[in-house]
Structure 1
Amino acid sequence: MWHKPRVMTAVSDLLFLAGAAALLVAAVVWGTPRLRLFPLHEIQVTHALQEVRQSDVEQSLSDVLRGNFFTVDIEALRRAVEQLPWVRRAEVWRKWPSRIEVRIEEHRAAAHWGDGPEQLVNTYGELFSAALSQDQQLPRLSGPVGSSSEVLRRYEEFAQILKPTGRLPAQMALSPRLAWLLKLEDGMLVELGREQAKAPIRMRLQRFVDYYPTLSNTRQGRPMAVDMRYPNGFALRFPASAAQEVKGKK
């Protein structure tokens, strides 16, 4: 055969035509979704969700779900899902032969933030905007821009110290001057002030816990506010003079 040029030419032509046909098929499969090859039939969330609904996921994807199994823009789908209020992070991938699977990490609300009804802090200390689907007794935290993670961390620390009192902070604020102010579940204000080298906030809050059982036995009755900013003591304020609100300002 190697000595027959006509046969070699015919074989070469056949191989060329076969290659061209293969390239044409590939171009049709990969570049022409309008032919509806390998269509997508299903969007599946891989696990149960608490706040995000399946219908919300499908609706968020409707505007970007274009193309077929091979050509759909997975990154665009992921960004669309992450725009939903309760979605912290999303992963999206193809599942042969016709399914898109979505894995969602939801925000877990740890506290309200600021004065707005829908500004929340998640368990990582990150801010997000969403409406609670059910009534939850969450504390209300506030502080300067960028302080949500630190304020949440301190809330958890202070709540642990306060356990012996049977009271948790219902509100907690960090002022622009970095002074801390608590409002307990029973309405009592606790002014902790700023961090001090000689009298750390933890030490001053522990002093409050130690004296808390005696605070209701004063001559004037139960105090409305306790000022713990002193290195070695504290001051009590009673209803007539305890008008300060938890606003994070000094």
Structure 2
Amino acid sequence: MWHKPQLMTAVADLLLLAAGAALLVAVVIWGAPRMRLIPLDELRVTHELQAVQRSEIEESLQDLLRGSFLTVNLEALRLALEKLPWVRRAEVWRKWPARIDVTIEEHQAVAHWGEGPGELVNTYGEVFAASLLEEKHLPRLSGPSGSAVEVLRRHEEFARLLQPIGQQPAQVALSPRLAWALELEDGMLVELGREQAKAPIRMRLQRFVDYYPTLSDTRHGRPLAVDMRYPNGFALRFPATAGHEVKGKK
């Protein structure tokens, strides 16, 4: 072997590699317990929050931050944060040497949901339980369970169609039988009925917009409700003629 330099070099390299691996294992065995004792110095939210309060975050995480920098359960922190009313999504990660960073996506409320005060709809059409921190003029949407995305989409479509008459939908409702109705900001109810291939909802609302300037009656005033469920016309209900309908033809 002494007369084979290449073999001697290979053996020396192998011995050096083995010694390095042994040293690394020794360092890990010696250092791991000590690394796990690194204290957690700080929990930092990486951006400014609008609805979520710092006190809410601290209260929700206080029992989960016990331990060291390396032993804190990040998944448990994330799940606890996402239980807060205004938190849509949270991300949590370790920042060396002793800090936990948190990023929170807050819900952006665009409407009330249902009849009660406790539920809101965000920009994704997701329903979440929370109370507004300050009074806002938001529309009210309602519909069967799981329909919030579609009701929000319809609200946006109705709002665009109503722009020429200077009105906005204050309420949009989808019934269990999938019939649509909306209430304008001035209180007028517009019944649109169910979607139909020959007379789509959009077409019926456009017909309402076209006739809106002529809906007032010199004898009865403005109608309380307009029934657009007719294929080629509509019916008006006036406050002074309860139960009486005046029908119009296109």
- Using the size of structure 2 for normalisation, the TM-score is 0.84
How big is the shift at 1:21?
Answer: 5.2
Partner of 2:173: 173
Among the aligned pairs, what percent are the same residue? 68
- Aligned letter for 2:82? E
- Partner Cα separation in structure 2 for residue 137 and residue 210 of structure 1: 27
Mapping of residues 97-176 of structure 1, within 5 Å:
97-176=97-176
2:190 partner SS: strand
Structure 1 stretches of at least 4 aligned residues deviating more than 6 Å after TM superposition: 14-20
Mapping of residues 1-250 of structure 1, within 5 Å:
22-30=27-35, 33=36, 37-239=37-239, 240-241=241-242
- Partner Cα separation in structure 2 for residue 133 and residue 44 of structure 1: 23
CA, structure 1 residues 162+20, in 2 after alignment: closer, same or farther (shift >3 Å)?
Answer: closer
**CA deviations over 1:5-54 (Å, ceiling 9, x no partner):** xxxxxxxxx99996785354234135xx5xxx311111111111110012
1:141/1:172 contact within 8 Å kept: yes
CA, structure 1 residues 16+153, in 2 after alignment: closer, same or farther (shift >3 Å)?
Answer: closer
- Partner Cα separation in structure 2 for residue 204 and residue 48 of structure 1: 45
**CA deviations over 1:133-155 (Å, ceiling 9, x no partner):** 00000011110011011101101
CA, structure 1 residues 191+16, in 2 after alignment: closer, same or farther (shift >3 Å)?
Answer: closer
**CA deviations over 1:204-224 (Å, ceiling 9, x no partner):** 100100111111244321110
- Aligned letter for 1:74? L
How big is the shift at 1:67?
Answer: 2.1
- Aligned letter for 1:230? Y
- Using the size of structure 1 for normalisation, the TM-score is 0.84
Greater RCO (CA < 8 Å, at least 6 residues apart) = 1
Aligned-CA RMSD value: 2.2
1:182/1:190 contact within 8 Å kept: yes
- Aligned letter for 2:129? S
**CA deviations over 1:92-115 (Å, ceiling 9, x no partner):** 011111111100000000110111
How big is the shift at 1:156?
Answer: 0.5
How big is the shift at 1:175?
Answer: 0.4
CA, structure 1 residues 197+23, in 2 after alignment: closer, same or farther (shift >3 Å)?
Answer: closer
1:203 partner SS: helix
Structure 2 stretches lacking a partner, 5+ long:
1-18, 245-250
- Partner Cα separation in structure 1 for residue 51 and residue 69 of structure 2: 28
